Amino acid sequence: MIAKKREFYIGLTMLIGFTVVLGILFAPVYHGANGLSFLDNMFNSMSKGSAYYIPAMKVEADKLAGTTINLTLTVDKESQREILTRLLDQANASASTAGTDFTMTADLGRLLNACIIDAETMYNNDGATIVQKYQTNERVILFNWHQLLKKIEKGLTKEKLFKEGKAVALINQRAVETAYNYYKVEAKSVKTSAFMLIFALVFYVIYTLWYGFGIMFIFEGLGMQMEH
């Protein structure tokens, strides 16, 4: 039973309006994408500019120039062994296989720099260069760099080369993973998107309050209210 019609219908109108706006947010009206995807892409574009660690990672790689590593890794798939061999060729490293064992000898600094070059190319959204270089899908190449560095980190840790293993993990995280995650995202500065950023934050606050007050008026109209 409706105790206060005015409050009830105000709340009902607010919730109907809330639902309509929600439907618009989920509709593909923003160049084929919905509002949530549009905002997600906008925030990704703004965050990409602040996630450019490549120069610092080059410094880390250069510190390891001349450090020779000899590791035996486990690689189950033949197709992956072939790709890893091509990656090592870029660093003039040698590799041999025996069953699932993958033995490699490399200058760690040179290997990491070769990886960073590919990561920077992908960070700049130039996947065509990677495809031309390896004749393989660009995402597959970066994924295999990621897997190779993980295996190398594990091997170095096993050999108690903790400093080198930590550097490999850092480069894997800040160069390879970042480049993979932000591939095909166009970097934008916060300044150029300041209006949309402020609008999105203000809209979020207002939209949340909109829903909350709508519920409050509905319950008040039904004769319910909060008391101390």
d(CA 198, CA 202) in angstroms, rounded, equals: 6
Low-confidence winner among 30-39, 69-78, 133-142, 178-187 (lowest mean pLDDT) = 30-39
Please report where in the chains the tokens 């319910």 appear, as a residue. Answer: 224
What are the structural domain ranges in the chain? Answer: 5-47+199-221, 53-181
Please report where in the chains the tokens 């560095």 appear, as a residue. Answer: 149
Give residue 51's pLDDT: 84
Higher pLDDT, 137 or 43: 137
Give residue 205's pLDDT: 92
Higher pLDDT, 8 or 59: 59
With 90 as the cut, is the pLDDT of residue 227 above it?
A: no
With 70 as the cut, is the pLDDT of residue 42 above it?
A: yes
Q: Residue 155 class from Cβ within 10 Å (0-12 exposed, 13-18 middle, 19+ buried)?
A: buried
The distance from CA 63 to its chain's CA centroid, rounded to whole angstroms, is: 27
Mean pLDDT on 53-73: 94
With 90 as the cut, is the pLDDT of residue 221 above it?
A: no
Q: What is the largest CA-CA distance in the chain?
A: 82
Q: What is the pTM of this model?
A: 0.73
Residue closest to 207 by CA, chosen among 40, 35, 44: 35
Contacts of 140 (CB under 8 A, 6+ apart): 83
With 70 as the cut, is the pLDDT of residue 92 above it?
A: yes
Give residue 228's pLDDT: 46
Question: In the structure, what pLDDT confidence band is assigned to residue 4 with cuts at 50, 70 and 90?
Answer: confident
With 50 as the cut, is the pLDDT of residue 202 above it?
A: yes
Rg, Å, the chain Cα set? 27
Instruction: Kindly report, residue by residue over 120-156, the tens digit of the pLDDT.
Output: 999 999 999 999 999 999 999 999 999 999 999 999 9
pLDDT > 70: what percent of the chain?
A: 94
Give residue 39's pLDDT: 73
